[in-house]
């Protein structure tokens, strides 16, 4: 009986588990070393399980996002607001933090919180400012907004989009997307002096004088994110490397980056082996002349020291310094994944085209000439 209780003691069970685990690990390592083809079925099974888990995770994440309800809030700002651009930036910092507050299931599925800020204009209701948000985040969002603008009015409204958007009798509709023309680290033009020039005024100016039944909606979808590439950019800025050249390098998919990385490592190994072989042959040829051999080794050591010597500091022009400082400031802020869409419902194709063109020109106030701007996404269907 005592032996039975000893065998089922927790410490004994844990010891047996770890012993068997390391024994299995050693057996697996020996098998892979002597008979590598025998482990291929295990690797294939492991790959299949990982791929299956990835697909299931993606499926349930999309399913949860599609089935999740949303609430549409209408925001009526006060007639006079003296809030600075810095105060607005702090508001979006709180929104960024709010988006990271997720349930354990959402974290497991990798589901992201989304906030949709929309400016909608119709003939009957005029220009309205709306926020589309999930019920779980609504109350916290309201409190943050009221802290930023105490006299703002917030109310829940019904969906404004027509059910039959693609089958509107007597009207034409189109949805277009806007994108950044340069890498994300390049900021758009800063809007610091809102008292002198409000860029939203140019946007809403393209939404006026609509005919009955026409509608224009600008949708900006924000999703808090953390981009690993910012660490590489910050490191290059600290080391005074070529940041601008790095940002404008051609970006390849992860699979191609992995293949290129493996090929680069293999190439460096082969290069190192060939260099050492050539060095051995050269030393063998010079072995009969000690002075020549000594000079050769001294030259080789000097060459390696030059390769490992610290690079002299690069001199940047004032313009380059300004651009790099703006990049540093941009990546130091809370970042969002952003999707910008425009929906236009117009009475004829000419009006539809003019509205989209006018709206695109209004976004030029955010452009940094030569570096960053918002531009209309083009597709092959636009040429048909």
Q: Domain check: are 212 and 76 in the same one?
A: yes
**pLDDT tier at 142, thresholds 50, 70, 90:** very high
pLDDT band for 378, please (50, 70, 90 cuts).
Answer: confident
For 293-314, the pLDDT digits (tens) are 788 778 778 777 776 766 666 6
Q: What pLDDT does 40 receive?
A: 66
Q: Are residues 78 and 103 in the same domain?
A: yes
**Cα distances (angstroms) measured from residue 140 to each of 97, 310, 319:** 11, 51, 42
pLDDT band, very low/low/confident/very high, at 5 (cuts 50, 70, 90): very low
Domain boundary among the residues 262, 279, 313 is at 313
Length of the chain: 384
Mean pLDDT in residue range 308-335: 80
Q: Each residue of 23-80: pLDDT tens digit? A: 444 554 555 455 555 566 777 777 788 888 878 877 777 777 777 788 999 999 887 7
Q: How far apart are CA 188 and CA 373, in angstroms?
A: 6
**pLDDT for residue 338:** 92
Tokens of 348: 């004829």
In this structure, the answer to whether residues 75 and 112 fall within a common structural domain is yes
Higher-scoring residue by pLDDT: 142, 298:
142
Q: Which residue has the tokens 């209309």?
A: 376
CATH of the domain at 189: 3.40.462
pLDDT-derived band of residue 12, with 50, 70 and 90 as boundaries?
low
- Do 158 and 291 reside in the same domain of the chain? no
Please determine, for residue 2, whether its predicted confidence score (pLDDT) is greater than 70: no
Total number of domains in the chain: 2
Q: Are 121 and 215 a contacting pair, CB within 8 Å?
A: yes
Q: 256 and 363: one domain? A: no
pTM for the full model?
0.69
Same domain, 279 and 157: no
Check whether residue 229 and residue 250 sit in a common domain.
no
Domain membership flag for residue 194:
yes
Predicted pLDDT of residue 275 = 81
For 299, the domain range is 243-313
Helix, strand or coil for residue 351?
helix
Of the residues 283, 313, 343, the one at which a domain ends = 313
Tell me, yes or no, whether 211 lies in a domain: yes
- Cα distance between residue 301 and residue 24, in whole Å: 47
Shared domain for 108 and 252, answered yes or no, is no
> How far apart are the C-alpha atoms of 372 and 185, rounded to whole Å?
9
């Amino acid at each position: 009986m005592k032996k039975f209780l000893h065998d089922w003691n927790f410490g004994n069970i844990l010891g047996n588990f770890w012993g068997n685990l390391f024994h299995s690990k050693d057996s697996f390592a020996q098998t892979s070393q002597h008979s590598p083809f025998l482990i291929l079925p295990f690797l294939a099974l492991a790959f299949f399980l990982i791929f299956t888990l990835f697909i299931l995770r993606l499926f349930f994440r999309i399913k949860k996002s599609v089935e999740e309800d949303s609430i549409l809030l209408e925001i009526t700002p006060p007639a006079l607001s003296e809030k600075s651009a810095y105060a607005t930036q702090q508001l979006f910092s709180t929104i960024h933090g709010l988006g990271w507050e997720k349930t354990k299931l959402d974290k497991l599925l990798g589901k992201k919180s989304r906030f949709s800020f929309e400016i909608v204009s119709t003939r009957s209701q005029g220009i309205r400012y709306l926020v589309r948000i999930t019920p779980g985040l609504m109350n916290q969002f309201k409190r943050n907004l009221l802290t930023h603008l105490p006299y703002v009015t917030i109310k829940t409204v019904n969906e404004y989009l027509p059910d039959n958007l693609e089958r509107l009798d007597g009207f034409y509709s189109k949805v277009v997307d806007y994108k950044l023309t340069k890498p994300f680290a390049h900021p758009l033009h800063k809007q610091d002096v809102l008292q002198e020039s409000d860029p939203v005024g140019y946007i809403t100016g393209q939404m006026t004088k609509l005919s009955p039944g026409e509608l224009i909606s600008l949708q900006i979808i924000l999703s808090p994110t953390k981009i690993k590439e910012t660490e590489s950019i910050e490191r290059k800025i600290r080391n005074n490397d070529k940041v601008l050249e790095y940002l404008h390098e051609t970006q390849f998919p992860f699979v191609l980056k992995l293949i290129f990385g493996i090929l680069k490592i293999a190439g460096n190994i082969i290069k190192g082996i060939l260099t050492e072989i050539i060095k051995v042959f050269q030393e063998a040829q010079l072995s009969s002349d000690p002075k020549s051999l000594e000079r050769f080794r001294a030259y080789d050591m000097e060459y390696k020291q030059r390769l490992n010597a610290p690079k002299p500091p690069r001199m940047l022009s004032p313009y380059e310094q300004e651009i790099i400082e703006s990049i540093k400031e941009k990546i130091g802020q809370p970042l969002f994944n952003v999707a910008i869409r425009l929906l236009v419902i117009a009475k004829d194709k000419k009006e539809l085209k003019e509205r989209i063109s006018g709206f695109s020109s209004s976004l030029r106030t955010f452009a940094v000439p030569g570096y960053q701007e918002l531009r209309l996404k083009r597709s092959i269907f636009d040429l048909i």
